[in-house]
Structure 1
Amino acid sequence: DFYIVDRLKELIKYKGLQVAPAEIEATLLTHPAIADAAVIGKADEEAGEVPKAFVVLKGEATAAEIMTFIAERVAPHKRVREVEIIPQIPKSASGKILRRLLVEQEQAVQ
């Protein structure tokens, strides 16, 4: 047996549409109060998955303000449905976002 442990589910599948986390992350990083960001797909009964953002702040911003900021700049299916403010984004030695750790953390909470 072998198992694929990474990159398999990077695309978020929202109501049959594919959403690339990197596109939402790039938009988040244009916000003046956001220092770093990562986006994952969060399980959702109705939509399959919804985009959830983890952000590191360098200024003042609320989760609601960040969701509005994204909603004004992306297609409706790419809107972030939840924002969690965290102290730092988990990354590999080469600087890649370790989404798997965020997904595991999210599943542990549910």
Structure 2
Amino acid sequence: MRTGDIGFIDDHGFVHVVDRVKELIKYKGHQVAPAELEDLLNHHPGVADSCCVRGYDKNGEEHPKAFVVLVDKANSKGLTANDIMAYVAAKVAPFKKVREVEFVDAIPKSATGKILRRQLQAMENERRTLSA
């Protein structure tokens, strides 16, 4: 049965659903699961919430991009995009590194609290189209 989910079975026989196939970010031949990066980002003490999508470089190549909501903007003024990228880079394989960060006021979510990734992805795709 195909569900479009990515997951694994652990040593104890439990099934873990990690992400959706259609949400994967392809970076230089590797597949990056946004949920893995979001989990890392959300453990940063200065990050309240995050969402990762496909960003695009000037050549139109995909890379991981993070939208980040800071815990307290007033107290997090020193926290930069480079700080966030370095935090993730220290914890993941080189191909999984976040290559772009955009600070936002809120991550769009459904009434049940699910991240509406497609809204941020659509915004990113529109920017790509406008800059082309």
Q: Distance in 2 between matches of 1:94 and 1:11?
A: 22
The answer to whether 1:37 aligns with 2:26 is: no
Q: What is the TM-score normalised by the length of structure 1? A: 0.86
Report SS of the residue matched to 2:23: coil
- 1:17-28 alignment, distance < 5 Å: 17-28=30-41
Question: Which secondary structure state, in structure 2, belongs to the residue aligned with residue 9 of structure 1?
Answer: helix
- The residue type paired with residue 12 of structure 1 is I
Given the alignment of the two structures, is residue 62 of structure 1 paired with residue 80 of structure 2, yes or no?
yes
Give the share of equivalent positions with the same residue, in percent: 55
Pick from 43, 46, 50 the counterpart of residue 63 of structure 2. Answer: 50
State the distance in 1 between where 2:113 and 2:45 align. Answer: 21
Whole-Å separation in 2 of the counterparts to 1:8 and 1:43: 19
Between the two proteins, the alignment pairs up a number of residues equal to 103
What 5-or-longer segments of structure 2 have no aligned partner? 1-19
Tell me if 1:88 matches 2:106: yes
Helix, strand or coil: the match of 2:31? strand
TM value normalised by structure 2: 0.72
Structure 1 residue ranges without an equivalent (≥5): 1-6
- RMSD between aligned alpha carbons? 1.5
Shift of 1:94: 1.2
Report 1 or 2 for greater relative contact order, CA contacts < 8 Å, sequence distance ≥ 6. 1
Q: Is 1:107 paired with 2:120?
A: no
Looking at CA atoms only, which structure, 1 or 2, has the larger radius of gyration? 2
CA distance 1:8–1:23, change in 2 (3 Å): closer
